Amino acid sequence: MTKLPLLLPLLLLCLVSFTTGEIKNLKISSDPRAMILFERFGFTHTGQAAISVSSVSVISTLATPDPSRLGFFLLSEESLIQVLLELQQNPNFCVLDSKFINHLFTFRDLSPPPNSSFNRSYPVTSPNEYSLFFANCAPESKVSMDVRTELYNLDNQVKDYLSAGLTQLPTLYFLFSFVYFGFLGLWLYVCFNNKKSVHRIHMLMAALVVMKALNLVFAAEDKHYVKVTGTAHGWDVLFYIFQSIRVVLLFTVIVLIGTGWSFLKPFLQEREKKVLMIVIPLQVLANVASIVIGETGPFIRDWVTWNQVFLIVDIVCCCAIIFPIVWSIRSLRETSKTDGKAAKNLAKLTLFRQFYIVVIGYLYFTRIVVFALRTIAAYKYQWVANAAEEIASLAFYMVMFYMFRPVEKNEYFVLDDEEEEAAELALRDEEFEL
């Protein structure tokens, strides 16, 4: 068996964004993989990589493995391409012999049995983003070991456990949380001043802003404690709870607004209920996948599978929430032909078509553009992708809330009688095709 097919998935792993930098204690049990990716981390010129292994055992169906054929190393993304080329030229090539890797240690450096352990810290002299790998070049062998990794940068002799491109995240999330709390106050003020026009959907929208603000608060606390201590101290649990609630609530609000529930009609049709019954469980599954991805890491064997599950579920949900908006637009078009209220129907059609465009733009930006930013941005500026995502989300919330705000004389629903004839012409000429 060649090692190239075993290394190619690692190229995919290195393109996927995942949280790094925490102090991790991992257990590897009878693992036959030729390559195991543990972490990816952006080092400055003061970077340090501390690796500790213990309870090491290697079982082989062939001869006793050469301990120098098993070991740890750091690899930059630029060097990864060179290593792939080396393996392509010689499938039996051992990556530990490559001149493009930063050697850390091999099992030859382990203390003799029964201890079989090793512990050392390595300075990173060349600033860059590196991936920490374990390589097993011993054929037909399985490795078991306990591994402790501690990757960090020194800032005035203080350890910073967040990657060089993510160390600004605590401040970024705190700032956005304050913005959302201010947004919540403004929304409640608008609702209070227009009590007669407030519907249940507006209260649900307020709850969404609360969940978003709390999600950002706990995200900031999570990143702050990881930054200064290397562990989240339980803040990650609160972060995942409020993230799950927030995402489910966001998709629910989009679906309900798209159907016109509460302010256009007091009930949901059967097909609209089915959309909610599909979207909500799928979002729960997506959040489970997100937690597994965030709390484990690429060293587990099913990590790629969980990433694929998250991606597929997210795509399905993004497609599903578009249908209710399309149905509302088609329903309004049909109604406009029979009820004789051209001006009001034109306003509603305009509103829902604008909402359709806004939702499509938001989904495209947060799924495609943000991913592209994470991929192409230099490792020191990974926070820019997070900032762009939060700015896009805030803009989406502001536009959506403005479009469906509670006002007694909404320009979309109350038009003067003299505009009726112009509206009829517009409906006749404008097809509102999507």
- Across the chain, what does the average pLDDT equal? 83
Question: Each residue of 263-276: pLDDT tens digit?
Answer: 666 767 777 788 88
**Mean pLDDT calculated for residue range 300-323:** 80
Three-state secondary structure call for residue 42: strand
Choice between 242 and 15, residue whose per-residue pLDDT is larger: 242
- Going from the C-alpha of 185 to that of each of 28, 190, 219, 408, the distances in angstroms are 50, 9, 21, 20
Q: What interhelical angle do 200-229 and 383-403 show, nearest 10? A: 170
Can you spell out the DSSP letters for 58-120? EEESSSPPPGGGEEEEEEEHHHHHHHHHHHHH-TT--GGG-TTSEEEEEGGGSPPTTT--EEE
* Region of 341 on the Ramachandran plot (φ > 0 left; ψ -120 to 50 alpha; else beta): beta
Choice between 299 and 141, residue whose per-residue pLDDT is larger: 141
If one counts every other C-beta atom within 10 angstroms of the C-beta of residue 360, the result is 14
Select the CATH number that applies to the domain covering 168-432 from these four: 1.10.3470, 1.20.1070, 1.10.12, 2.10.70: 1.20.1070
Order across the sheet with 35-43: list the strands: 35-43, 128-136, 70-76, 102-106
* Percent of the chain with pLDDT strictly greater than 90: 39
Give which of 257, 254, 408, 414 is closest to 346, Cα–Cα. Answer: 414
Contact predicate 81/10, CB 8 Å: no
pLDDT of residue 2: 46
Q: What interhelical angle do 270-295 and 322-336 show, nearest 10? A: 160
CA distance 191 to 184: 11
If one counts every other C-beta atom within 10 angstroms of the C-beta of residue 339, the result is 10
Question: Each residue of 105-163: pLDDT tens digit?
Answer: 999 999 887 778 899 999 998 999 999 999 999 888 999 999 999 999 998 889 999 99
Interior angle at CA 288, CA 285 and CA 291, nearest 5: 155
**Mean pLDDT calculated for residue range 315-319:** 85
CA 183 to chain centre: 24
Q: How confident is the model at residue 227 (pLDDT cuts 50, 70, 90)?
A: very high
Question: Each residue of 197-221: pLDDT tens digit?
Answer: 888 899 999 999 999 999 999 999 9
Question: Each residue of 323-339: pLDDT tens digit?
Answer: 888 887 777 777 665 55
The domain locations on the chain are: 23-160, 168-432
Q: Model-level pTM? A: 0.84
pLDDT of residue 415: 45
* Cα R_g (the chain), whole angstroms: 27
pLDDT of residue 123: 94
pLDDT of residue 400: 94
Give which of 405, 389, 380, 20 is closest to 176, Cα–Cα. Answer: 389
Q: How confident is the model at residue 1 (pLDDT cuts 50, 70, 90)?
A: very low
Question: Each residue of 17-44: pLDDT tens digit?
Answer: 444 557 888 899 998 888 888 888 999 9
If one counts every other C-beta atom within 10 angstroms of the C-beta of residue 234, the result is 11
- Count CA within 13 A, CB hemisphere, residue 348: 25
Contact predicate 141/60, CB 8 Å: yes
Q: How confident is the model at residue 352 (pLDDT cuts 50, 70, 90)?
A: confident
Question: Each residue of 384-415: pLDDT tens digit?
Answer: 999 999 999 999 999 999 999 887 655 444 44
Question: Each residue of 277-298: pLDDT tens digit?
Answer: 888 888 888 877 777 777 777 7
CA distance 29 to 145: 7
Neighbouring-strand partners of residue 146: 27, 54
Reported in sequence order, the residue ranges of 125-279 that DSSP labels E, i.e. its strands, are 128-136, 141-155, 158-160
pLDDT of residue 285: 83
pLDDT of residue 418: 52
- Count CA within 13 A, CB hemisphere, residue 298: 23
The type of residue at 280 is: I
Interacting residues of 143 by C-beta distance below 8 A, sequence separation 6+:
28, 30, 31, 32, 56, 57, 58, 70, 134, 136
pLDDT of residue 429: 55
| CATH code of the domain occupying 23-160 | 2.60.120
* Percent of the chain with pLDDT strictly greater than 70: 84
Containing H/E element for 398? helix 383-403
Give which of 108, 160, 112, 157 is closest to 137, Cα–Cα. Answer: 108
CA distance 26 to 220: 25
CA distance 405 to 196: 12
Can you spell out the DSSP letters for 148-163? EEEEEEEETTEEE-S-
102-106/47-60 β-pairing: unpaired
